[in-house]
Every structure is written in structure tokens, then in C-alpha cells.
Structure 1
Amino acid sequence: MRILIIEDDNTLKKTLLDGLTEFNYQTDLAENLKDGEYFISIRNYDLVLADWNLPDGSGIDVIAPVKTKSPRTAVVILSAKDDKQSEIETLRAGADDYIKKPFDFDVLVARIEARLRFGGTNLIEIENLIINPDEEKITYKGTEIELKGKPFEVLTHLARHRDQIVSKEQLLDAIWEEPELVTPNVIEVAINQIRQKMDKPLNIATIETVRRRGYRFCYPKPANMQ
């Protein structure tokens, strides 16, 4: 699962980044509201962990864009404010949780786990096709499809944006931890694996190539129209 941390305090952001990585979460770090909003615009997150006080605004301001893009993505606000009104304001603004500083890290992780059980980016169901990002599992008409790793992530990302054309650069930035260290050819390899392991055996088309622009999720378009 992927978590976005929006925090400018050097000590705390290192604690969060290192600690969540140890719990096998994929994490991105933004140090201000502007960078946080940029990450939200290009990537899908299961949870956003944002500080109330940021150099250029409030973590509360990320709630609306996160929920507009993906209503099931959880937003947790960290705050040094310990008054009741601030907590009420945050929750009424749409946050899923409000955690006061200082906090015990193990308690934070437990509360994150609780939010992810009830939120997150969950199942994608399109007719007979079900994609489960949490379990990295795909089923078609009740049959499980063996597609893992980056091809699975590419398919999932395109399925979440099935009304859009997504470029190779956007896929690299959304899925690869260090996109600048890989070439766009890895996208072609992933797409080919999807078509070989999934589309061809099932006689369906899930991804179409849009020349010079990128790829678009096209299921349930018939296979012969790919």
C-alpha cells in the first residue's frame, strides 16, 4: 500500500518515513502543501498523512482534492493542537482521523492499519473483471489470473483512470519508486505481459495503445477491436 506523508519537521518526517517503510508501506514525502497536492494529482494513495501546520498552508486543505479524486483514500491529520474545536473542525472537513502530537509510533501505525481496513483504494469491479489492489489479485468470471508485480500495478493504475489516456511518463512517475532510473521501455514490457498473460488467454482486451500519447484502459471493449 502507498502512503503520502506531508510533513516539514525534519525529525518527524524521518521518523515517519523510516518507520512506515519498515512496515512495508510504499511512502512518498512532501514537505509542503504545494508538493503534496502535486503528488496527489499524479498518484493514487491508500492513505495521506498530513500535518496541520505546513509552511504554505494547512494539511486540512488536502482533504478536498484527495476525496474528490478517490473518496476511499483515507486522510489522517497530525496536529500539535489539543483543543476540541480543532479536532471537530478537521473531522467535519472530511478527515478520517485526527492524531495529536506527540504520539506513540506504534499507536499511529495501529490507527493507520484501522483506517486502511475501512478505506483505501479497494476493489475495482468492471463487469466480470475484479481487480483487488490490496491482495494483488485479479479474477475474471471467478477464475484467478496470475499477474503480479509491475504489470499488475500498471493494469491497476490504468483501470483507476479508465476514462483517461495515460502517458508512459505518467505511468513511470506513478508506479516506479525512482522513475528517473528506468527507461520507458519497461512500460512496454509490462503492457506486453498483461496482454500475454491475461488478454490473450481470456480473449479480452484491457489496454489499448493510443499512438504517440500513451495507453487507455478499454475493457470491456471486444478483443478484436483492440
Structure 2
Amino acid sequence: MRILIIEDDSELSKTLSEFLNQNGYQMDLAENLKDGEYFISIRNYDLVLTSAKLRDGEATNIIPHIKSKYPRVPVIMISQKHSPEEEVFAFKAGADDFIAKPFDMNVLLARIEARLRFWGSSLIEIEDLVINPDEEKITYKGKEIEVKGKPFEVLTHLARHRDQIVSKEQLLDAIWEEPELVTPNVIEVAINQIRQKMDKPLNISTVETVRRRGYRFCYPKQAEE
């Protein structure tokens, strides 16, 4: 899973990155709002960790942008002070959680895992299609479909972002631990497996190719359409 950290304290940013990386997360680091907006525009994230105040503005300036593109992606706000007013500020700004400095890294990790568990464990149900990320299980009209591994992760990611076109690069970043070590054609292989094992036998279409831009989750849509 990939996390965007927006923090202008370089020492804290490095510490967060190293700690979360050790716990299996991939990171992008932005030291200001401008860089944060750039990363949001080019990649999909599972969670955003942002400082309440940065040198070029406040989190209130970027959280609406994050939520407009990723309505369900959790945002955790980090604040210099812990007060009822600051917490109210965070939640009114659109944050999903709040943590004040100084904080214990394990407490932060627990909060991140809780937020991701809440988002990632919820079933994706669209008409007769049910995707269960926790159990790596897909059912269609009550029948289990054998799509596992990376094809399952690709389908799940597209379904979670079904109102968007997702590029190959975004899929690689979101799913592969070391995306720079694999070629984009692994995405084509995964999409082909989804179509062969699921779409074709069921006569449905779940993923459409948007020429030169990427892929989009398109179910419900009959294959002949």
C-alpha cells in the first residue's frame, strides 16, 4: 500500500518514511502543499498523512483537493499542538483522524492500520458482483470466481477507484512493492487474466481500456455493449 506524507520537517519525514517502510508500506514524500498536489495528480494513494501547517499554507488548502479525487482515502492530520480547538480544526478541514506531536510511532502505525482496515475491509458490492479484499474472494451471483494474486489486486484497485481512469504507472505504484523493477506489460497480463477468467465466461465487462490513458472499472456493463 502507498502512503503520501506531506511534512516540511525533513527529519520527521525521513523517520516516518523509514519506519513505515519497515512495516511494509511504500511512501512518497512531499515537503510542501505544491508538491503534495503534484503527487495527488499523478498517483493513487491508500492514505495521506499531512501536517496541519506547512510553510506554504495549511492542510485546509489540500484536504478538499485530496477528497475530491479520492473521496474514501483516509487523511490523518499531524499537529504541533494537542487541544480541542486543534482537533475540531482537523475534522472540520476534512481529516479522518488526528495525532499531535510528539507521538509514538507505534501508536501512529496502529491508527494507520485501523484506517486502512476500515477502508480496505469493506466489501465492494455492485449489483451481482461482490469483491472481498480481506478474503481475496470474488463472487458473481453467488458463485466464486477464481481470480487471485496480482489480477485480483488490480481489479480491486480499479473497483475502488471506479470513477477514475487509472494509468499503468499508477497501478504499478499502488500494487507492486518495487514498481521500478517490473515492466508495464505485467498490467496487461493481469488485465488479460481478469478478462479470460472472469469477463469472458460470465459475459460481462469489468475493465475497459482507455486508449493512451489506462484502464477504468466499468461493471455493470454487458460484454456485447
> TM (normalized to structure 2)?
0.82
Mark the CA change 1:26 to 1:83 in structure 2 (over 3 Å): closer, same or farther. same
Q: Which moved more, 1:166-175 or 1:70-79?
A: 166-175
CA distance in 2, matches of 1:108, 1:212: 39
Instruction: Tell me the equivalent position of 2:5.
Output: 5
Across the two proteins, how many residue pairs are aligned to each other?
225
Residue in structure 2 matched with residue 159 of structure 1 by the alignment:
159
CA 1:84–1:220 in 2, change beyond 3 Å: closer, same or farther?
closer
Contact 2:3 2:26 in 1 (8 A): yes
Query: What is the match of residue 98 of structure 1?
Result: 98
CA RMSD for the aligned pairs?
A: 2.8
* Deviating 4+ runs (over 6 angstroms): none
Conservation of the 8 A alpha-carbon contact between 1:45 and 1:73: yes
What amino acid is the match of 1:112?
A: I
**1:15-94 residue pairs with structure 2 within 5 A?**
15-94=15-94
Q: What's the CA shift for 1:180?
A: 5.0
Question: C-alpha displacement at 1:205, in angstroms?
Answer: 2.0
Whether contact under 8 Å (1:50, 1:59) holds in the other structure is: yes
CA contact (8 A) 1:5 1:28 kept: yes
Q: Is the 8 A contact 2:52 2:90 kept in 1?
A: no
Tell me the amino acid that sits aligned with residue 209 of structure 1. Answer: T
1:95/1:213 CA distance change after superposition, 3 Å: closer
1:79 Cα deviation from its structure 2 partner? 1.4
- Report the CA distance between 1:27 and its aligned residue: 3.0
Q: TM-score, normalised on structure 1?
A: 0.82
**Does the 8 Å CA contact 2:199/2:206 hold for their aligned counterparts?**
yes
**What amino acid is aligned across from residue 23 of structure 1 in structure 2?**
N
Aligned letter for 2:4?
L
> How much does 1:37 deviate?
1.9
* 2:206 matched residue in structure 1: 206
Deviations 1:35-71, CA, capped at 9 Å, x for gaps: 2223323433332111123232223322212222333
Query: 2:188: which partner in 1?
Result: 188
Shift of 1:104: 0.8
1:98 to 1:160, Cα distance in 2 relative to 1, 3 A: closer
**Maintained 8 Å contact 1:48/1:75:** yes
Q: Which amino acid aligns with 1:107?
A: V
CA distance in 2, matches of 1:59, 1:52: 5
Task: Answer yes or no: is the 8 Å Cα contact 2:52–2:78 preserved in 1.
Answer: yes
Query: CA 1:83/1:98 → structure 2, altered by over 3 Å: closer, same or farther?
Result: same
Are residues 55 and 132 of structure 1, via their aligned partners in 2, closer, same or farther at CA, if it must alter by over 3 Å? Answer: farther
